[in-house]
């Protein structure tokens, strides 16, 4: 069936702010307050505050643009801008949790007690070949493309639900980000090189305090290091990864929420994405980005966070955002 995109179809909104903009401004305000509370200890608070002012300014410029040209395209631009900011807000969590004592030793101990080993080490050790490494790295790399596919599908085929799914996704990310600010866990790829693999092999997991406040050496991923997807994942981590955001795994959590959305919109779309989803979940442990506990917590938390985010939308923004004018 052909898709009639109608990018310039006129749509009116009875609200000044879209739901996703409202929740983004709330998160902006909360983290601004946190910066002010921690001001003497922050590394570059002036820059962080200025960036937040800039985000607010661009948000209102896009609102003005939409009000001048109210159509599907300008509505999409407003939503897309807020979603693109997730790439900013993610490393921003590091600027807060680097100030608090690291908790990786607690999670590594728990991992050892529960499983009798470190799954992040054993998985890649027993499956080092290209036939495991490349598919799993491909799954990990397709995290954001999976989200993009579902968001664009709703925009093209279920525009009446487009605002809601953007709100649920962004709100879910923000809930995970608040966890990362308050629960400073970096994950095996940062913690293991910090303590040394000899201690990991001896099952000794010392506390390292605020080590990551000034150190963020990233362990190179395991597997076939000449692989195309291996190199893509390595390059993306070198650019955007920080010693933060391990528990719970938002890769597992958000991809699970994305799969719920895909299932509700189109079963065929969900079936198409499902292999990438499974590979992504496995990759979080395989490439040592997460402890297995993180991945399990990400999966379980996804259902609660999805329900919470959906409830917030239905409670705060029950009226439809858009009215098609033809």
String of DSSP letters for 169-202: HHHHHHHHHHHHHHS----HHHHHHHH-HHHHHT
| 172 compared with 9, residue with greater pLDDT | 172
65 within a domain of the structure (yes/no): no
34 within a domain of the structure (yes/no): no
Q: Which of 1-5, 59-63, 180-184, 282-286 has the lowest mean pLDDT?
A: 1-5
Residue 182: CA count within 13 A, CB half-sphere = 10
Pairing assessment for the beta strands 323-324 and 11-12 based on DSSP bridges: antiparallel
279 within a domain of the structure (yes/no): yes
The stretch 227-250 carries a mean pLDDT of 88
294 within a domain of the structure (yes/no): yes
Indicate whether this model's pTM tops 0.85. yes
Beta strands in the chain (DSSP E): 11-12, 323-324
153 within a domain of the structure (yes/no): yes
The C-alpha atoms of residue 213 and residue 269 are separated, in whole angstroms, by: 42
Tell me how far the alpha carbon of residue 45 is from its chain's centroid.
Answer: 23
192 within a domain of the structure (yes/no): yes
With a cut of 50, say whether residue 1 has pLDDT above it: no
Q: What's the Cα-to-Cα distance from 125 to each of 60, 174, 187, rounded to whole Å?
A: 51, 34, 17
Asked if 252 and 301 touch (Cβ cutoff 8 Å), the reply is: no
With a cut of 50, say whether residue 35 has pLDDT above it: yes
182 within a domain of the structure (yes/no): yes
Expressed as residue numbers, the domain containing 184 is: 101-324
The C-alpha atoms of residue 242 and residue 190 are separated, in whole angstroms, by: 9
Domain count of the fold of the chain: 1
75 within a domain of the structure (yes/no): no
| 1 compared with 160, residue with greater pLDDT | 160
Q: Could you tell me the pLDDT band of residue 217, with boundaries at 50, 70 and 90?
A: confident
Give the pLDDT confidence score for residue 4 in this predicted structure. 54
Give the pLDDT confidence score for residue 2 in this predicted structure. 44
Residue 136: CA count within 13 A, CB half-sphere = 24
Q: Could you tell me the pLDDT band of residue 326, with boundaries at 50, 70 and 90?
A: very low
């Amino acid at each position: 069936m052909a898709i009639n995109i109608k990018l310039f179809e006129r749509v009116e909104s009875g609200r000044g702010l879209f739901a996703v903009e409202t929740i983004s401004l709330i998160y902006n305000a909360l983290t601004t307050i946190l910066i002010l509370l921690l001001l003497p200890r922050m590394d570059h608070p002036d820059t962080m505050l200025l960036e937040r002012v800039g985000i607010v300014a661009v948000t209102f410029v896009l609102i003005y643009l939409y009000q001048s040209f109210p159509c599907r395209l300008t509505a999409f631009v407003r939503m897309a801008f807020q979603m693109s900011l997730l790439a900013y807000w993610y490393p921003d969590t590091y600027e807060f949790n680097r100030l608090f004592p690291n908790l990786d030793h607690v999670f590594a101990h728990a991992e050892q007690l529960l499983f009798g080993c470190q799954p992040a080490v054993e998985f890649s050790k027993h499956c080092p070949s290209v036939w495991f490494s490349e598919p799993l790295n491909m799954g990990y790399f397709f995290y954001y493309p999976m989200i993009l596919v579902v968001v664009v599908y709703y925009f093209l085929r279920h525009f009446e639900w487009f605002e809601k799914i953007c709100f649920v996704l962004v709100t879910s990310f923000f809930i995970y980000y608040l966890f990362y600010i308050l629960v400073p866990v970096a994950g095996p790829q940062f913690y293991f090189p910090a303590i040394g693999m000899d201690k990991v092999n001896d099952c000794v997991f010392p506390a390292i305090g605020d080590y990551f406040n000034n150190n963020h050496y990233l362990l190179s991923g395991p597997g076939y290091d000449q692989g195309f997807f291996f190199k893509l994942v390595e390059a993306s981590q070198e650019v955007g990864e920080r010693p933060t955001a391990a528990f719970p795994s938002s890769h597992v959590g958000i991809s699970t929420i994305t799969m719920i959305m895909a299932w509700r919109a189109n079963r065929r779309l969900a079936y198409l994405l499902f292999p990438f989803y499974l590979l992504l979940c496995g990759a979080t442990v395989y490439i040592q980005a997460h402890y297995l506990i993180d991945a399990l917590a990400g999966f379980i938390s996804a259902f609660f966070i999805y329900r919470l985010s959906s409830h917030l939308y239905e409670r705060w923004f029950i009226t439809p955002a858009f009215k098609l004018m033809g």
